[in-house]
Amino acid sequence: MKETTLLWLLSVTSLLCCTTNQARLTMIPSFSQLFEDDFVSLSCEEDDSSAGWTVRRTTTRQQMSQCGDGWGKVGGSACNISYMDPLESGVYWCESREGSTSNSITITVTGGAVILQSPVLPVMEGHNVSLRCQTKRPPSKLPAKFFKDDVFIGTEPTGHMTIHHVTKSDEGLYKCHISSHGESPPSWIYVTEKPSVPAVPPTSAAPPSVFTSFQLGFRPVLHLVVFCPYFISTLLMVSLYRHRPTDQSPLNNMTTTLSNQPKQDLTEE
């Protein structure tokens, strides 16, 4: 009973510890689609640079490889790729030395003539979304047709569509078409609910994009939460010390070792 409570507290403590270890992957340019040979810069914006965040990716050719491992140029926790190849299309994310992961983004590189410039990061409910249908060289302002989930949603004379005050129902797979040039690949646009409600990841078979407005808006709260593990572990140590039995049962040894861990983390920092 008492041990169960202690173990439960320890689990909660370790969960709280991990939520504070966050990074956010951003990208310049911040579009889901790129032309072959385009430049891209990916950055891990982190709370704790000593956690050793690096950019990783999974493409159709290669699973979970790290920036600098035959691709990209590493600079701190950023990664630049000078000439993107269609085979480098895939899912990109940041990972710390201990294996914590950031949000992931899906990049599509096309060898074709048309891209849809849509936001690579989730859009907050109520914001406007800008969609540009572009040809490679020179960047065009040609008329373009836009599609959502393969349904025609409109023609724009300059290839630029704005979706005003997006809602969850605007989430979907978008593409565009410029006559005599061709069609863009499709890309997902994700909409996150307002911060007051924790966002729910899309339920369809879409690639994971788990970075939510919840994580963005509640960073100050997360910082506060850092104190809790130390507070709880102090309480635990005091309580263990008070009720220290004369015989050393294995379980007591274990809980003592575990409850010491957050303390060690503190000294390391």
Ligand X SMILES: *[C@@H]1O[C@H](CO)[C@@H](O)[C@H](O)[C@H]1NC(C)=O
Residues near ligand X (CB under 6 A): 41, 73, 75, 78, 80
Q: By Cβ distance, which residue is nearest to ligand X?
A: 75
Q: Using the minimum distance from each CB to ligand X, give the nearer residue, 9 or 27.
A: 27
**Shortest Cβ distance from residue 176 to ligand X (Å)?**
27
Which contacts qualify for 61-68: CB closer than 8 Å, 24 or more apart? 61/87, 67/42
41 or 62: CB nearest ligand X: 41
Per the listing, tokens 């797979």 go with 173
- Residue 15 beta carbon to ligand X: minimum distance, rounded to whole angstroms: 35
Asked if 107 and 59 touch (Cβ cutoff 8 Å), the reply is no
Q: Give me the least distance between CB of 74 and ligand X, in Å please.
A: 6
Nearer to ligand X, 26 or 135 (CB): 26
**Is 55 or 163 the residue whose CB approaches ligand X more closely?**
55
Q: Least distance to ligand X from the beta carbon of 75, Å?
A: 2
* CA distance readout (Å), 130 to 24, 48, 117, 165: 22, 33, 8, 11
Between 75 and 126, name the residue whose CB sits nearer to ligand X.
75
Question: What is the β-pairing status of strands 33-35 and 172-178?
Answer: unpaired
Handedness of CA 44, 215, 90, 132 (dihedral sign): negative
Nearest approach, Cβ of residue 57 and ligand X (Å) = 16
DSSP state of 67: T
Distance, in Å, from the CA atom of 144 to the CA atom of 177, rounded to the nearest integer, reads 5
Residue 228 per-residue DSSP state: H
Report how far residue 263's alpha carbon sits from residue 149's, in angstroms, rounded to the nearest whole number. Answer: 51
Cis amide leading into 262 (omega within 30): no
Token digits for 33?
């689609």
Q: Nearer Cβ to ligand X, position 73 or 97? A: 73
Percentages (nearest 5) of helix, strand, coil residues in the chain: 30, 35, 40
Nearest distance in Å: CB 118, ligand X = 21
Q: Is 240 in contact with 259 (CB distance < 8 Å)?
A: yes
Task: In angstroms, give the least distance from the CB of 37 to ligand X.
Answer: 16
Q: Which is nearer to ligand X, 80 or 252 (CB)?
A: 80
